[in-house]
Amino acid sequence: MRETHLSKFYWKTKNRRGAKKAIVAVARKMLTIIYHLLKNQDVYHEEKYESLKEKQETLKLKRISMELKKLGYMIVPQNDVP
């Protein structure tokens, strides 16, 4: 069960803040998910959270690149070299 969104979140939080705080953080996240599922009369889909994570990473990269441009750096994309 370590391949789920909540499991990954737990282990990441546990490594940073400890087990007790990680449990509380996961419980809060679960309650938030349950609330939104009940409010929108939706069904839980694990894949939805994986796609949201990818979207968040893309937005994070965009935000970081904008901050670097503000500081005067020029960003040059690199092709993956095998």
Instruction: Examine residue 76 and state whether it is found in any structural domain, yes or no.
Output: no
Over range 3-8, report the average pLDDT. 86
pLDDT, residue 10, reads 93
Instruction: Examine residue 18 and state whether it is found in any structural domain, yes or no.
Output: yes
pTM exceeding the 0.85 threshold for the entire prediction = no
Total number of domains constituting the chain: 1
> Which range marks the domain in which residue 46 is found?
5-70
pLDDT digits 0-9 by tens, 34-70: 999 999 999 988 888 778 878 888 899 999 999 999 9
Instruction: Examine residue 79 and state whether it is found in any structural domain, yes or no.
Output: no
Q: Rounded distance, CA 30 to CA 26, Å?
A: 6
